[in-house]
Amino acid sequence: METERKGPNGETINTHRHRALGSDSRVEILGLVRAAAGGLTAADVAAHTGQHLSTTRAHLDRLVHAGLLVKARASGGAPGRPAWRYRATAADPAPAPYRALATALLDHLPGAAGGDVREAAARVGQDWGRRLAAVSPPQDDPVDTVSAVLTGLGFEPERQPAQPDGAVEVHLRTCPFLELVGQNPDAMCGLHLGVVRGALGHHGVGGDDAVLEPFGAPHACVIRLPLPTTAPPADRGPARRPAPGSSQAPPGAAG
């Protein structure tokens, strides 16, 4: 069993990281990924370094295991199963009480999912999101409810200008769970998507069409909320009865 050692100033030496950076190739790859705002796929890295794709993947996974990179699937809206995209982790993963809960979820899912880990995690996250929304300050706008829940979890959500189709985008500039995302990206991203759907559900808005796109924007993951663009019709008072002998049907009557 490997134990942590102390450096000359009393700091903990992360042996996984030191060993991961003991290769010039991995140091070069880490620099490439850190310099890429939107992250890189293994194919991107292989093209830059000239290494074989399988060798590149092995180096990338070693850096993920060391906590220096995080990987997630980013489709960019393209059909099919997207490739893994790698991005550098934050310098300081944020400790939070929720980390213990998220870790317990990762330990529990392999035996409970029985299939799609991401969907199983999303179902757990949905219940969690409803509870978090219930104790958040009441909001008139469902997007504000989602933002309040995500802010409480340690994300930095930023609402973007409305899209032409009425959809709303919220960019997540930080992720306090990046280390756990690196361990099981499908589960953690599914958990966070479920939280968003649960917060919307608490607000009375269906969240099944909400999407979480890892690395969907430079320096941010993207949440897309296809909210309704039209408000309910204003109350115009009681319907007027048609005049006697008139063929006009009352408003709302079937034709």
Give the pLDDT confidence score for residue 237 in this predicted structure: 43
Give the pLDDT confidence score for residue 6 in this predicted structure: 41
Cα–Cα distance, 94 to 52 (Å, whole number):
35
DSSP 142: H
Residue 17 contacts residue 23 (beta carbons within 8 Å): no
Which segments of the chain does DSSP mark as H helices, in order?
15-20, 24-35, 42-49, 53-65, 97-112, 117-134, 142-153, 178-183, 185-202
Cα–Cα distance, 70 to 157 (Å, whole number):
19
Which residue positions in the chain have pLDDT lower than 50? 1-14, 92-95, 113, 229-255
Cα–Cα distance, 200 to 207 (Å, whole number):
6
Give the pLDDT confidence score for residue 10 in this predicted structure: 40
Cα–Cα distance, 183 to 103 (Å, whole number):
10
Give the pLDDT confidence score for residue 56 in this predicted structure: 94
Give the pLDDT confidence score for residue 95 in this predicted structure: 45
Give the pLDDT confidence score for residue 16 in this predicted structure: 60
Question: Is the pTM higher than 0.75?
Answer: no
| Mean of per-residue pLDDT scores for the chain | 74
Give the pLDDT confidence score for residue 89 in this predicted structure: 73
Q: What is the pLDDT of residues 63-90, one digit of tens each?
A: 888 778 888 876 555 566 778 888 887 6
Q: What is the pLDDT of residues 194-218, one digit of tens each?
A: 999 999 999 888 888 899 988 888 7
Please name which of 215, 193, 218 lies closest in space to residue 83, comparing C-alpha atoms.
215
